[in-house]
Structure 1
């Protein structure tokens, strides 16, 4: 099978994705099944290893496959009711439920679902292939192509004293790979890291797997950060690195006020802490943007990480890092990882930035997200009044709901799966057992016919799962 001639309107990884879906459906899934390696599929399908990696990354994100270090990729079992019992890893059960057919998946936060640049990227790639024939493309650029690194450096530059250069930007295969490098470069294993909570489960699981001691700083119910507790933790705990969002913290959907931002920056400087800034959703704020935290802190103790996935979707899975320091170690780690990234796709993304198309796309995404959030808010008020409280999100594609009554949220999750609806219980966004009464639900879909039915089912599940 040669994918190069298949559906010219597709990216190669999309054809690989469809092939893998068919392959997974063909095998017996009573137990986990080992899938072909990246190199085996690259040879079989006559595409690059990076293209296979992109497809596997998408399948892993959807919960269809999982990876085991030094063993490869495996397909989750789906026969009967696997991983959906009331015991076991909740995240695994969520992934398994989300991949079942005819499920209404309300557990995600995928803003790019509302707008796509697939066609534009494909057109740019075709133009670039004519300009850069395959034999002229560099075999390996472990930190990313210069054009994309320069475009990112320019975008993050805000003043002469807050400027970035291309050689201070590092592009990796995906956000997970970039975060794993940062954990190594910063020497976080065995150290204490202060993290805002709730926090993305990918970040939390990576930190946990690396042996990092995570201290969680919860956002308060009024949407504020407890700065007194923040100061106490910086004073009493051996914290050298703090992980905070650049503008809006998700899934809580709240943002620091300007005075709070200045106080956070002052405390970080006072205690000599590094800021590890999560800018994953920094471009997706609905209203007027506050200054990013990175523009207020000491730039000598700052590392920023993000990805293109939330703004451009699965066709742009690359993650990236900006750092003025640790350059030799970052270069070494990126070289050791040997990311085989498509130079053409990176250049196509760079052109989106340079031409202004990315900004136009962002305006469209933000507008649609805000519209969807307002419609979802009306539905929540109509269907869940008296059951949950929430704050209107300031960015992203989801709502952070809190049950008004004491409930067993795992039981709510089980009841919803039985109704073919997948939600994300709040405990997934904490390593310390926080947010047991919260749930994340998505609003990034267009006129879903079963949404009102799903919300009615959620109201009933919350009622039936109350703890006396």
Structure 2
């Protein structure tokens, strides 16, 4: 098989992805099956290694494959027996269950499922392919095409003192790849990092794998961070940086009060600590007037990371980073990774921003997410009244629920798998055993016949898992 003959508008990674889906679906054993290596597939399909790696990263994000350090990629077993998932890593079990046909997957966090810009993006690409023939599509821009970097720099600029330039922006194949580079450039291996909790499991896993000592700063029930504890830790621990959300902290769905933001900024400045800001959901807040934390901190000790996927959809999986400092090392690391990103797709994304299409889309998406959150809240009140407590989220596509009775949430998770329902237990969002009475539920429920039946199953599972 060769991919060189694919039509111009069909990017190589898409063909590799489809080939891998077929290959994975041929797996019919309950044992794990090793998949071809990056080099083997690149040779077999006549594409670059980075193209294969990109396709694998999409499959891994979807829970179809998983990677083992120094070993390679494996397809998840196709066991139809929920008891076969009872052991092992909880996140691995969640991914395996979500891949099973017929599962009601309520564990995800994909805002763009309600309204993506995939079709607009692909239409722009077709126009751009005619303007930029293949021989004019350079692959020698390891940090991303200038047009898109300049658009992002302008979008993040808010004043003459808080301005960004195209050279401060770095674009990678996906958010995972960008975070890997951040860990190397910041020298985080073996250091101490403070993270808000609950925290995205991708971030936690990458920090853990790098041997980072993670200190969790939990959100309190009143929607505030414990600033006294933060001050104490900064004073007594060799903290390398603090990782916080830009506007709304997800999955908790809370907004830090403005006076708390000022206090955090002052602490970071006092202790000379870096802020690593997670802006993944920064533009999905229902109250879009909320200022970002980056507007208050020292811009010389600030890095911001985000991705396009949550807003644009699966056809825009790129991650990106903004930093004024360490430009030489960042450029070197992006060059070493040799991300082969489609210049046409990046230009298409840039045009979505330049035309104002992104802002129009965001207004509609925020409205739809808000309405979906209200509708789901009403259904939860109907089916889980007295069993869970939650606050209306301030952004995004999920609800963070707390069991009002002590339960074994792993047992809840396991029972629901038997009912073909997948939730995300709260302990996945912690490295120190926090949030064991919590779980995350998706708002973008789609493609399933009966949400009410799934919520009834959750109610029954919570009841059966009560302790004491």
Calculate the TM-score normalised by the size of structure 1: 0.96
Distance 1:396 1:242 in 2: 22
- For residue 377 of structure 1, what is the aligned residue in structure 2? 377
CA contact (8 A) 1:29 1:76 kept: no
For each residue in 1:181-202, what CA deviation from the matched residue of structure 2 results, as whole angstroms up to 9, or x when unmatched?
1111111111110000000000
SS at match of 1:52: helix
CA contact (8 A) 2:28 2:78 kept: no
1:388 maps onto 2:388 in alignment:
yes
SS at match of 1:235: helix
1:201 maps onto 2:197 in alignment:
no
Q: Give, in angstroms, the shift of residue 41 of structure 1.
A: 3.5
SS at match of 2:128: helix
Residue segments in structure 2 that go unaligned for 5+ positions in a row: none
Distance 1:200 1:380 in 2: 23
- For residue 343 of structure 1, what is the aligned residue in structure 2? 343
CA contact (8 A) 2:82 2:418 kept: no
Q: Give, in angstroms, the shift of residue 34 of structure 1.
A: 1.9
| Runs of 4+ residues deviating >2 angstroms | 1-19, 27-30, 36-55, 68-72, 79-87, 445-449
- For residue 272 of structure 1, what is the aligned residue in structure 2? 272
Cα 1:288–1:152 change in 2 (3 A) is: closer
Distance 1:188 1:9 in 2: 40
Q: Give, in angstroms, the shift of residue 122 of structure 1.
A: 1.1
Distance 1:379 1:8 in 2: 46
Distance 2:83 2:296 in 1: 45
CA contact (8 A) 2:192 2:240 kept: yes
Distance 1:6 1:368 in 2: 37
Q: Give, in angstroms, the shift of residue 6 of structure 1.
A: 7.1
- For residue 258 of structure 1, what is the aligned residue in structure 2? 258
CA contact (8 A) 2:398 2:443 kept: yes
- For residue 149 of structure 2, what is the aligned residue in structure 1? 149
Cα 1:240–1:70 change in 2 (3 A) is: closer
- For residue 19 of structure 1, what is the aligned residue in structure 2? 19
Distance 2:9 2:133 in 1: 20
Q: Give, in angstroms, the shift of residue 18 of structure 1.
A: 3.0
- For residue 185 of structure 1, what is the aligned residue in structure 2? 185
Distance 1:9 1:106 in 2: 33
Q: Give, in angstroms, the shift of residue 43 of structure 1.
A: 4.7
For each residue in 1:3-58, what CA deviation from the matched residue of structure 2 results, as whole angstroms up to 9, or x when unmatched?
67779986654443333222111134332222223344345445555543333222
SS at match of 2:228: helix
CA contact (8 A) 2:223 2:254 kept: yes
1:305 maps onto 2:305 in alignment:
yes
Cα 1:394–1:340 change in 2 (3 A) is: same
Distance 1:275 1:83 in 2: 43
Residue segments in structure 1 that go unaligned for 5+ positions in a row: none
Count of aligned pairs between the two proteins: 468
* CA-atom RMSD in angstroms: 1.9
Map 1:26-65; keep pairs closer than 5 Å: 26-45=26-45, 49-65=49-65
- For residue 359 of structure 1, what is the aligned residue in structure 2? 359
Q: Which moved more, 1:396-405 or 1:228-237?
A: 228-237
Cα 1:40–1:127 change in 2 (3 A) is: farther
